[in-house]
Amino acid sequence: MQAPTDQPVPGAYALARGAIEAGVSLVTGYPGSPTTSVVDHIVAGTRADRVRVEWTSNEKVAIEMAFGASLGGMRALLCVKSVGLNIALDPLMTFVLSGCNAGLVLLVGDDPGGWGSQNEQDSRALALAAEIPLLEPTTIADARLSVRWAFDVSEKLDLPVMVRFTRALALAREVLPALPGIRPEPPSPFRREYMRWVVLPANVVSSHRRLLERLDAVRARFEGSPFNAAAGSGTQGIISVGFTWQKLLDLLHGDLPVEARVLRLGTVHPLPTGTLVTFLRTVESVLVLEEGAPLVERAVRAAAQREGLSVPIYGRDTNHVMRTGELFGPHIADALRALLPLPAQPAGAEIRRAMPSQDPFCEGCSYLEVFRALTEAMDRHGGRDDYIVVGDPGCMVRAQSPPLKLLDVKDSLGSSIAIATGIALSQGRPQRVREQRGPDQSVEDGPGRRVIALCGDSGLLHSGLPGLMDAVRVGARMLVVILDNGTTALSGGQPHPASQVDARGDPSGAVDLEALVRATGAHTVQVIDLDRGEDIRPAIEEGLTAPQLVVVIARGQCARWSTPAQTEMRQGSLQ
């Protein structure tokens, strides 16, 4: 992967290059902004025989696969977005007790402002909960170095290491400095040691004690880390965490106010308390700039209290920094003016939120045909108010914009069927109407509303299938529509286990999605091939009126991401 030496490159490229230079052999993950672009750069910059890239069915599988590769002696990189780390957290909480073998780095992309996510999750809190080292690059150049350094720390201390970055870093551009190449020593193969990789109740406490000792060693390394540095000689302190450092420099055009002294902090857990306390002793007050929750702010306040320092600490907790959303230049300027005599600045351009979920459907999208047929059928059978529609993340969220306004409920990936099942159970018994019909009298409203669950193919394979199995088991009366376009479209057209190609676009074995659905025991399963002109309306009609659970699989190639080769392979598999 040759980097241009005189042209700015995006932060996603820098992160990818750092992993490649560190000798990564396996990359696993699940698509999701802002991390997907890093994997795309790895695919573009490597050969399949050097770096294996796997988009897995979900993040739990991805981290388990990466951990296994690490045990076997392969340097592995997990690439997930913020909410994806939630799915991977269960195995991670145990992996840290046994530790890893070859370097294992978790690259987690957070999304302050929720530009392409269902929340503003701060994944640093999960790194603290899992008790793993955490780096947060302050510049694009440091992003590259942080990943290299993370692999080195992971391998030397047998610990997974997390590198957290934000959407802003992934998109920003900078010229990367020339660096000498590194030749990492090949990791040792699997080491068979009695109880080394076995975590049982009998050794949990001793394993936890060993983990804390390793974190102490990490803290010592972080005290001398090149990713933490102070600048300026003023008495008003600023601690700039992660990429807020670059945003601060951009706001000030690279010139710090004479009144300020700034500590840029790129190692977040364990915090280098020695470095922090030394900085606190040189200033009269401190403003903490960080994306997400006030985690560092609170830790700095605690460190000051332990040392008996009466330095005021300001940030999101004190409302000196806005408490929600991504920090942009105007927000940082407002926070600085409370402490520094900054000159008034002209009003910045309005911050516009161009979110993928608000974009219109692509021309020729097969989803539109399904949603129109569904709304027309609901209108024919009692009207929209007689139905509750539960959706999933993915392209279907665009149906929430006018004129469709389709979804009544939408939460996390793969959740629509299980949520719809719970609603269906609540609608399956008589509903007590609140309208009073005379003194102390009320009436019952029959069987309630019909429930409809919409789920994409990647969402079903991610975590929706167990929900469908339980919907069948409990006898939920509802319609499930599975939108099968053969790809993970909203995040950029990445493959999933039922796709016909792998991450590099080469032919790949594919799961039979229809067979999986039929194996759940659903009473009625209909497959409608939209590409061949089959009419989906009769299947939807049956699903809205049948007395049991009906599954309709609506197959139609993605108008944006499907290649002719994919279409040909898909059609061949259906014949």
Alpha carbon dihedral 233, 234, 236, 240, in 10-degree steps, equals: -40
Domain stops at, among 206, 223, 240: 223
Q: Could you read off the pLDDT of 402-417 as tens digits, one per residue?
A: 888 899 999 999 999 9
Asked if residue 363 and residue 321 are part of one domain, the reply reads: no
Residue 550: helix, strand or coil by DSSP? strand
CA pair distance 42, 494, nearest whole angstrom? 14
Burial track 100-116 (b if 16+ CB lie within 10 A, e otherwise): bbbbbbbbbbbbbbbbb
**For residue 103, pLDDT beyond 80:** yes
pLDDT confidence bin for 517, thresholds 50/70/90: very high
Number of folded domains in the chain? 3
Whether residue 412 lies inside any domain: the answer is yes
Residue 454 pairs in a beta bridge with 481
Residue-level pLDDT at 349: 44
Whether residue 381 lies inside any domain: the answer is yes
CA pair distance 512, 224, nearest whole angstrom? 53
Burial track 155-172 (b if 16+ CB lie within 10 A, e otherwise): bebbbbbbbbbbbbbbeb
Asked if 393 and 432 count as a contact pair (C-beta separation under 8 A), the reply is: no
Closest CA to 469 of 430, 501, 537, 421: 421
Q: Any idea what the CATH number is for the domain that residue 59 is in?
A: 3.40.50.970
Comparing 433 with 323, which gets the higher pLDDT?
323
CA pair distance 254, 386, nearest whole angstrom? 59
Neighbours of 173 (CB within 10 A): 12
Asked if residue 215 and residue 107 are part of one domain, the reply reads: yes
Looking at every residue in the chain, the average pLDDT score rounds to 89
Residue 564: helix, strand or coil by DSSP? helix
- Containing structural domain, residue 372: 357-433+441-574
pLDDT confidence bin for 439, thresholds 50/70/90: very low
Asked if 41 and 13 count as a contact pair (C-beta separation under 8 A), the reply is: yes
**For residue 2, pLDDT beyond 70:** no
Residue-level pLDDT at 431: 44
Q: Any idea what the CATH number is for the domain that residue 259 is in?
A: 3.40.50.920
* Angle, alpha carbons 5-9-13 (nearest 5°): 110
pTM of the entire predicted model:
0.87
Residue 454: helix, strand or coil by DSSP? strand
Asked if residue 235 and residue 211 are part of one domain, the reply reads: no
**For residue 206, pLDDT beyond 90:** yes
**For residue 430, pLDDT beyond 50:** no
The region, left, alpha or beta by phi > 0 then psi within -120 to 50, assigned to residue 439 is beta
Ramachandran angles phi, psi of 6, nearest 5°: -125, 10
pLDDT confidence bin for 280, thresholds 50/70/90: very high
Q: Could you read off the pLDDT of 300-342 as tens digits, one per residue?
A: 999 999 999 999 999 999 999 999 999 999 999 999 988 887 6
CA pair distance 455, 464, nearest whole angstrom? 8
Asked if residue 388 and residue 314 are part of one domain, the reply reads: no
pLDDT (mean) for 266-277: 97
Domain stops at, among 308, 337, 366: 337
**For residue 355, pLDDT beyond 70:** no
Sheet holding 285-289, edge to edge: 229-231, 260-265, 236-241, 285-289, 313-314
Asked if residue 300 and residue 181 are part of one domain, the reply reads: no
Asked if 103 and 182 count as a contact pair (C-beta separation under 8 A), the reply is: no
| Least confident interval from 209-223, 380-394, 433-447, 482-496 | 433-447
Whether residue 349 lies inside any domain: the answer is no
Strand bridging mode 173-174 / 161-166? unpaired
Q: Could you read off the pLDDT of 148-157 as tens digits, one per residue?
A: 999 999 999 9
Closest CA to 420 of 495, 504, 503, 479: 479
Domain stops at, among 170, 194, 223: 223
**CA atoms within 13 Å, Cβ hemisphere of 66:** 36
Scanning 158-194, the segments in alpha helix (DSSP H) are 167-171
Share of the chain above pLDDT 90, in %: 75
How many helices, marked H, and strands, marked E, lie in the chain? Answer: 19, 20
Asked if residue 193 and residue 148 are part of one domain, the reply reads: yes
